[in-house]
């Protein structure tokens, strides 16, 4: 019973660090004039959010990293290096986001790294993570199909290609979901709690990693909920995308991201459909604005209502996925 309290303590510590750190980071970001630049073709009602401190993802990144490192000696004593590898992927993706945010701020524009630069860095990080997990024996090339109960035995090279595509796609989908106050942080909080439950069955250390992420996100959400005092920026959203992917592959069930990450998928598909139809129809649109959270805003939904709906959908699908 005592070992099950360990992940809960990790969550509490991460939450406490995030809550104490947030006012300091927000104040510093304001002093440095690290404010969000709103896209010219974005929702006009978001203009009021101009210059809200961004790069606030460092709050839950620091909180989670310190918490995981605090518990690391115990994890290593048990011979479990998986949380360290999972944290590594998250931090690398967070670093890519940090460079992207920094470039935007320094150049005073809404575009940071070029898509090609970002893609190359993401591919390198994904390949390194998958290879390390494979070498350390934490990852097989067997692809389990949730709910169906079947397993596909893939050649390692094919699984590696599949894994890279999933990681890059999911990371960018999480990034795209960060479009309104509290949406990405709240949805990912629920996803992290889901993974803590599935890990708890046989890996307390991995469960602690997931709850450390959840605790940091909860502390951050208190400042990121509408009206947001701080945005996570690409620093935070790419870190979260990496963490979500790391948990899925550490669970050795990457396809579980389809149900538990349905909100990320819907956000991404709405953007793809909008752009594709616009080009094919020479200017017509399926949605009033993409991604879909902006469409819902134009339909009269408040930001709070969108966040609650996304959280309820994620909660229901996570609960269902526990049966997978």
pLDDT at 273 over 90: yes
pLDDT at 45 over 70: no
pLDDT at 56 over 70: yes
The radius of gyration of the chain's CA atoms, rounded to the nearest angstrom, is: 19
Q: Output the six-digit token pair for 125.
A: 């990080």
Question: Higher confidence at residue 74 or residue 219?
Answer: 219
Q: Which of 42-51, 85-94, 122-131, 138-147 has the lowest average pLDDT? A: 42-51
Q: Which tens digit of pLDDT belongs to each residue from 219-233?
A: 999 999 999 999 999
- Domain containing residue 271: 2-321
Q: Output the six-digit token pair for 110.
A: 């809404």
Its pTM stands at 0.94
Q: Domain tally for the chain?
A: 1
Q: How confident is the model at residue 112 (pLDDT cuts 50, 70, 90)?
A: low
pLDDT at 154 over 60: yes
Q: Output the six-digit token pair for 226.
A: 């509408």
Q: Which CB contacts under 8 angstroms, 24+ apart, belong to 21-26?
A: 21/59, 21/62, 21/63, 21/219, 22/56, 22/59, 22/219, 22/220, 22/222, 22/223, 22/230, 25/56, 25/58, 25/59, 25/230, 26/53, 26/56, 26/223, 26/229, 26/230
Mean pLDDT of 161-189: 96
pLDDT, residue 109, reads 59
Mean pLDDT of 201-223: 93
The enclosing H or E element of 152 equals strand 150-153
- 141 CB neighbour count, 10 Å cutoff: 16
pLDDT, residue 265, reads 97
Mean pLDDT of 256-278: 96
Alpha-carbon separation of residue 157 from 120, 130, 153, 254 (angstroms): 19, 11, 12, 16
Mean pLDDT of 251-261: 95
Average pLDDT, the chain: 90
The enclosing H or E element of 151 equals strand 150-153
pLDDT at 1 over 70: no
Question: Higher confidence at residue 21 or residue 283?
Answer: 21
Phi (first) and psi of residue 16, to 5 degrees? -65, -45
Mention every residue, 6+ apart, whose C-beta is less than 8 A from residue 133: 82, 85, 139, 249, 250
pLDDT at 97 over 70: yes
pLDDT, residue 3, reads 62
Q: Which tens digit of pLDDT belongs to each residue from 287-319?
A: 999 999 999 999 999 999 999 999 999 999 999
Q: Output the six-digit token pair for 250.
A: 């550490």
C-alpha–C-alpha distance, residues 55 and 254, integer Å: 28
pLDDT, residue 216, reads 98
pLDDT, residue 140, reads 92
């Amino acid at each position: 019973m005592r070992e099950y309290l360990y992940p809960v303590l990790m969550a509490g510590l991460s939450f406490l660090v995030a809550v104490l750190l947030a006012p300091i980071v927000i104040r510093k970001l304001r002093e440095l004039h690290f404010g969000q630049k709103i896209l010219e073709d974005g929702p006009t009602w978001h203009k009021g959010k101009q210059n809200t401190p961004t790069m606030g993802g460092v709050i839950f990144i620091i909180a989670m990293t310190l918490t995981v490192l605090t518990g690391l000696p115990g994890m290593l004593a048990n011979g479990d290096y998986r949380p360290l590898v999972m944290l590594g992927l998250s931090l690398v993706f967070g670093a890519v986001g940090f460079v992207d945010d920094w470039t935007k701020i320094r150049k005073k524009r809404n575009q940071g790294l070029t898509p090609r630069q970002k893609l190359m860095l993401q591919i390198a990080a994904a390949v390194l993570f998958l290879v390390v997990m494979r070498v350390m024996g934490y990852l097989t090339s067997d692809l389990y199909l949730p709910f169906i109960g079947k397993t596909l035995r893939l050649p390692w090279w094919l699984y590696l290609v599949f894994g890279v595509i999933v990681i890059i796609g999911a990371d960018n989908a999480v990034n795209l979901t960060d479009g309104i106050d509290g949406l990405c942080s709240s949805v990912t909080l629920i996803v992290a709690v889901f993974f803590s439950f599935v890990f708890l069955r046989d890996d307390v250390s991995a469960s602690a990693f997931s709850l450390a992420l959840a605790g940091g996100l909860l502390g951050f959400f208190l400042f990121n909920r509408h009206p947001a005092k701080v945005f996570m920026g690409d620093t935070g959203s790419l870190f979260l995308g990496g963490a979500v992917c790391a948990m899925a592959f550490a669970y050795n069930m990457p396809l579980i991201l389809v149900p538990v990450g349905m909100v990320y998928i819907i956000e991404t598909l709405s953007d793809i459909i909008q752009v594709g139809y616009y080009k094919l129809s020479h200017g017509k649109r399926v949605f009033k604005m993409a991604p879909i959270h902006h469409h819902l805003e134009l339909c009269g939904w408040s930001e709070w209502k969108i966040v609650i709906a996304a959280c309820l959908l994620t909660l229901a699908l996570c609960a269902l996925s526990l049966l997978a």
